[in-house]
Amino acid sequence: MKKHLFLIIFGLCLGFFASLGLDRVLGIVLNSTGYFMAMTPNLNELHDMSEYTITAKISSQGIRNKEVTLPKPANTYRILALGDSFTFGEGVNQDEAWPQMLEKELNGLEKEKKIEVVNAGKPGASPTDIRQICRAYVDRFGIDSIVYAMFADDLNQAAAKQQESDTFLFKIESIWPTLSRLNMKTIGFTRYIDKPDPGDTVRMSTDNRKKVENLLHRDPSVLIHMQSEFRKDFIEGKINPAVIINAVRTPELPVVLLNEDLRNYMLYSLDERLRLFSERCSRNLPVAVVFIPSSEMISEAYMKDKEGLGFKVRPELTKISLDTDLAEIMKKYSFHFVSALSSFRQDACLDCYYAYDGHLTPLGQKRLLAVLLPFVREQLLK
């Protein structure tokens, strides 16, 4: 009886460890062959919002970037640009997003080799999504270094993910990260309710209207919390529904940074996400992290617009800085760190953010580039 019990336990343990090995090997194979992608490939997105209209073309490789040549040509240095919509370039044309501008500027300065900056930014990407995007492209594209543009909201998303860490589903995903998402080739959430066909053009206001209809069906009181001048654009899908949802459900979101306990928890949660990023993706590659502040951290002039959407804001936000804390975290993983906070604050940068949308304008992207260009040259290309 004891022998049979031992064999059963031994078999279960052997099967468990074999499944771990299978998951890791499968991840390497699928990522190297392009199974996982940041976004739906071969798609045109028309972003027709109240403050801007731009078209984003998603390549066959699932990124807002020209097709990346495989294998990597000789004498080419490739930088993988990671982040959320601030890297993707929400609100600006493709050549106005910082990864594309950085590539152009670097090639004008570096003569010995060709520099390619691959834009793998994905709107709404959390630090966990960014780690998975990194894994999907870093080996496949032959990446030499990484630039991670970290928006202020990444701290909130890291904390939300940390709170999920005790759930059963989270533990399953942690043990078998590849097997648990085989049926979801697109990393992270998909913003389309109806899946488009390759080559389709998706009008974002149409997609947003569907989300607004669903939201109002569940909670019609949303409109009560919103100033009247925003309601028409919101109903027509001209304002990002996620912004309004956050304003209604968590209006205090912008001011959580002023609470020391909550701020420390967010920094701890971000630290955990970066530890996994270092272990599972960046490994020995040079990593540069740039911190992008939210508009309410820059000037009180932006706060009126936030209040109009339903958020709570306080003037103290324009004085707070996370730079020292973030630099300490980055040091643990040998990541290079620079913050755009002081650069944006020096003149209030009043035309750097869209008032309601909150993303960087073309001028804001240029301001970010001015911070990044000397930093990348010194830390990654020296």
CATH code of the domain covering residue 176? 3.40.50.1110
Q: Which residue has the tokens 């053009």?
A: 201
Q: Judge if 74 and 29 occupy the same domain.
A: no
Instruction: Find the range with the poorest average confidence among 111-125, 144-158, 242-256.
Output: 242-256
Distance CA 291, CA 74 (A): 32
- pLDDT confidence of 170, banded at 50, 70, 90? low
pLDDT by residue (tens digit) across 265-283? 999 999 999 999 999 888 8
Distance CA 95, CA 65 (A): 10
Domain count, the chain: 2
Instruction: Find the range with the poorest average confidence among 159-168, 211-220, 245-254, 357-366.
Output: 159-168
The more confidently predicted of residues 368 and 18 is 368
Q: Judge if 147 and 8 occupy the same domain.
A: no
Taking residues 92-105, what's their average pLDDT?
A: 98
Q: Judge if 21 and 112 occupy the same domain.
A: no
pLDDT by residue (tens digit) across 231-255? 888 889 998 888 877 887 888 888 9
Query: What pLDDT sits at residue 328?
Result: 97
- CB distance 201 to 44 below 8 Å: yes
Rg (CA), the chain: 22
**AA letter at 303:** M
Query: What pLDDT sits at residue 16?
Result: 65
Res. 197: pLDDT tops 60: yes
**AA letter at 322:** L
pTM above 0.85, yes or no: yes
- CB distance 98 to 372 below 8 Å: yes
Q: Judge if 13 and 125 occupy the same domain.
A: no
- pLDDT confidence of 308, banded at 50, 70, 90? confident
The more confidently predicted of residues 267 and 167 is 267
The more confidently predicted of residues 210 and 177 is 210
Query: What pLDDT sits at residue 27?
Result: 74
Does residue 90 lie within any of the structural domains? yes
Q: Judge if 6 and 120 occupy the same domain.
A: no
Does residue 355 lie within any of the structural domains? yes
Instruction: Print the domain residue range for 288.
Output: 70-191+242-379
Query: What pLDDT sits at residue 207?
Result: 86
Q: Judge if 142 and 275 occupy the same domain.
A: yes
Does residue 325 lie within any of the structural domains? yes
- CB distance 342 to 297 below 8 Å: no
Query: What pLDDT sits at residue 1?
Result: 60
- CB distance 310 to 244 below 8 Å: yes
Q: Reduced to 3 states, what is the DSSP secondary structure of residue 93?
A: coil
Query: What pLDDT sits at residue 242?
Result: 82
The more confidently predicted of residues 178 and 66 is 66
User: What whole-number percentage of the chain has pLDDT above 70?
Assistant: 90
Q: What angle do CA 295, 301, 307 make, to 5 degrees?
A: 75
Q: Judge if 267 and 339 occupy the same domain.
A: yes
Q: Judge if 85 and 163 occupy the same domain.
A: yes
Does residue 137 lie within any of the structural domains? yes
Does residue 4 lie within any of the structural domains? yes
Q: What angle do CA 155, 156, 161 make, to 5 degrees?
A: 95
Does residue 306 lie within any of the structural domains? yes
- State the chain's mean pLDDT as an integer: 88
Does residue 44 lie within any of the structural domains? no
Phi-psi region of 173 (alpha: psi -120 to 50; beta: other; left: phi over 0): alpha
Residue 234 CA to chain centroid, in angstroms? 24
Q: Which residue has the tokens 């993988």?
A: 80
Q: Judge if 108 and 11 occupy the same domain.
A: no
Beta bridge partners of 202: 45
Q: Which two tokens stand for residue 43?
A: 């798609």
Residue 229 buriedness (CB in 10 A; 0-12 / 13-18 / 19+): exposed
The more confidently predicted of residues 181 and 339 is 339
Q: Judge if 10 and 114 occupy the same domain.
A: no
Rounded to 10°, the helix 260-277/127-137 angle is 10
Res. 6: pLDDT tops 80: no
Does residue 20 lie within any of the structural domains? yes
Q: Judge if 168 and 271 occupy the same domain.
A: yes
Res. 193: pLDDT tops 60: no
- CB distance 153 to 123 below 8 Å: no
Q: Judge if 349 and 281 occupy the same domain.
A: yes
Beta bridge partners of 37: 186
